[in-house]
């Protein structure tokens, strides 16, 4: 069974930093591309970042480019999101999601999310 | 950047069909995927590649895509279908993944 478990969320002050992790199990992590998607309270889904299986391709939404850094450790089956210079508008539940496979442009498995609150 | 437009809400009586639209510039040239999200839960894909259903998704869920509008249709709506529904595409011009604003399906 595919499992994605996010951690690292919490309360942080504006301008602060936070590092999110996503632990993957139940599949060959190194064969799949991954993404972070967030959802502000009461709002819709917003794609944040994407990383290919070998980390050769990395993309960011314009809203986080230059502030967030995605990475992965295939040996540890983990996906990471380093978030710097956080703003109030970054407050959201952050989901890690697995891209189905190469050639398929949708996310077939999602974690349950971790809440990030940016507030003073 | 590519924009997907969805109606904020769609009401439907039980047993009737619900239609949720997703508008975008020449969206018919893209592959559209649909997710269902119930309160407090992660999204689940219900339609991929315009009209394909993942295993475990009822046949009542179907999709189509043409011109500037993609459509998710849920026939014989049940109370358990009440949820938020999001369309999604991949924009090859920017390598960005784009979600629609979401539609709240309310079963009356």
- What's the pLDDT tens digit per position in A34-44? 999 999 999 99
The rounded distance, in Å, linking the Cα atoms of B108 and B101 is 22
Residue with tokens 């649909």: B34
Q: Which residues of A touch B48 (CB under 8 A)?
A: 100, 104, 106, 108
Instruction: Tokens 């969206």: give the residue.
Output: B27
- pLDDT tens digits along B31-90: 999 999 999 999 999 999 999 999 999 999 999 999 999 999 999 999 999 999 999 999
Positions in chain A whose pLDDT score sits under 50: none
Is B28 in a helix, a strand, or coil? Answer: helix
| Paired tokens of B99 | 């979600």
Closest chain B C-alpha to A75 CA, distance in angstroms:
26
CB contact under 8 A, A44 and B89: no
CA distance B85 to chain A (A): 10
Long-range interactions of A66-74: CB distance < 8 A, separation 24+: A70/A36, A72/A29, A72/A34, A74/A29, A74/A30
Strands B83-91 and B103-107, sheet pairing? antiparallel
- What's the confidence (pLDDT) of residue A104? 84
């Amino acid at each position: 069974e595919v499992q994605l478990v996010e951690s690292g969320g919490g309360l942080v002050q504006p301008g602060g930093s936070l590092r999110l992790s996503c632990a993957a199990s139940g599949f060959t992590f190194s064969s799949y591309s991954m993404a972070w998607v967030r959802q502000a309270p009461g709002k819709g889904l917003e794609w944040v970042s994407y990383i290919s299986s070998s980390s050769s391709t990395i993309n960011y939404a314009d809203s986080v480019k230059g502030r967030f850094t995605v990475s992965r450790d295939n040996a540890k089956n983990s996906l990471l999101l380093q978030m710097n210079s956080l703003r109030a508008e970054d407050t959201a539940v952050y989901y890690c999601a697995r891209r189905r496979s190469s050639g398929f442009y949708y996310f077939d498995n999602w974690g349950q999310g971790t809440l990030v609150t940016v507030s003073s | 950047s590519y924009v997907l437009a969805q109606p904020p809400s769609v009401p439907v009586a039980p047993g009737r069909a619900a239609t949720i639209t997703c508008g975008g510039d020449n969206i018919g040239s893209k592959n559209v995927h649909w997710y269902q999200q119930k309160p407090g839960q992660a999204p689940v894909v219900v339609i991929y590649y315009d009209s394909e259903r993942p295993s475990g998704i009822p046949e009542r869920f179907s999709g189509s895509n043409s011109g500037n509008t993609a459509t998710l249709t849920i026939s014989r709506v049940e109370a358990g279908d009440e949820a938020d529904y999001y369309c999604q595409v991949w924009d090859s011009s920017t390598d960005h993944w784009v979600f629609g604003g979401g539609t709240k399906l309310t079963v009356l």
